[in-house]
Amino acid sequence: MLDRAPQRAKDDVSAETRPVAFRGAGFVPGASRFGGWIALAVVIALWQLAGTARLVNPLFLPTPLAICRAIYQLAMSGALWQHLGYSLMRIGIGWLLGTAFGIAVGFAIGLSTLARSVGITFISALFPIPKIALLPLLILWLGIGEEPKIATIALGVFFSTAISVYSGVDAVPRNLIRMAQSFNVPFAAIVRRVIWPGALPSILAGFRITASVALLLVVSAEMIGAEYGIGAFVLQAGNLMQTDQLLAGVVILSLFGLAIGKLIGLLETRLLHWR
């Protein structure tokens, strides 16, 4: 028979009890659902009030309403779509080219010793260059058309993609590859069914980075030399002191960035639901 715990002494029962003090509070910040939106609305409202009360010079900081009006006018006149269209075309082609080459090179580096030794050296040497610095050279090589802008974007996207792809390939658990080998699964099938899905989280995380790289580069390239495009439009508006137009361009860029982020988020929930 098991020993029982000793009976409580009488004086224990009569003694006063007190609760154990709770000391586990804090350190679990949670994002509330509407908090962010409310804060944003408050800031915009204050901004609008400051503008209408003439506390700030509308030339330096136009009110949110003025910016909305500018966007509306731009949309109606068709100028918005023209600028946006050019920017989208450059981003789209540049991003796709850079991503395609980046994925190919990233996989080569992740899978082959030769590609790795050569590739990593070149990528480490070239990755830190701000790609916009190459635009003048690319203009000399490719002329003053769309090509140098697209090439700048593609270069910027390429390096980030290659790096995120090969680190994704490196991060695929080796035990899964060994498992596949132990079942005599052929090389191509291991790449397709083990390494590709295993690297996908890192590849998609890379897309988030390359999307912002592409946006940054398209605006920079368009500011350096373009007739159309959001970057060119923002620059012209600044030169003409049309700050409402300028900020309209900035807002559109921000919305565009948000939309891309949302799209990648959707892609992640679809493709990475297993995580």
Partner 1 sequence: MDLIADHISHCFGALEVLDDVSFTVRAGEVVAIVGPSGCGKSTLLSILGGLLQSSAGQAELRGAPPAGSLNPLTFVFQDFALLPWSTVEANVEFPLLHTPLSAAECRAQVDDALRRTGLTDFRATYPKQLSGGMRQRVGIARALAVRPAILLMDEPLSALDSQTRELLMEDFIRLLADGAMGAVYVTHNLEEAVRLADRIVVLSRRPGRVREVVTMPMTRSERGSAEWRGKLLAVQNDLWSLIRNEAIDAEREVQDA
Task: Give the footprint of partner 1 on this chain (CB under 8 A).
Answer: 173, 175-176, 178-186, 189, 193-194, 197-198, 272, 274-275
- Tell whether the torsion through CA atoms of 252, 255, 256 and 257 is positive or negative: positive
> Max CA-CA distance within the chain?
97
| Smallest gap from residue 113 Cβ to partner 1 (A) | 17
- Residue with smaller CB distance to partner 1, 7 or 184: 184
Quote the tokens at residue 265.
């988020």
| Smallest gap from residue 196 Cβ to partner 1 (A) | 10
Rounded Cα distance, 13 and 194, in Å: 64
- Residue with smaller CB distance to partner 1, 193 or 262: 193
Q: Give Cβ neighbours of residue 266 (< 8 Å, ≥ 6 apart).
A: none
| Smallest gap from residue 167 Cβ to partner 1 (A) | 18
Closest CA to 119 of 129, 131, 106: 106
- Residue with smaller CB distance to partner 1, 168 or 249: 168
- Residue with smaller CB distance to partner 1, 194 or 213: 194
| b (16+ CB within 10 A) / e for 247-263 | bbbeebbeebeeebeee
Question: Is residue 51 a contact partner of residue 67, using CB atoms and an 8 Å limit?
Answer: no
- Residue with smaller CB distance to partner 1, 180 or 253: 180
| Smallest gap from residue 207 Cβ to partner 1 (A) | 18
| Smallest gap from residue 107 Cβ to partner 1 (A) | 18
- Residue with smaller CB distance to partner 1, 14 or 182: 182
- Residue with smaller CB distance to partner 1, 182 or 239: 182
- Residue with smaller CB distance to partner 1, 51 or 110: 110
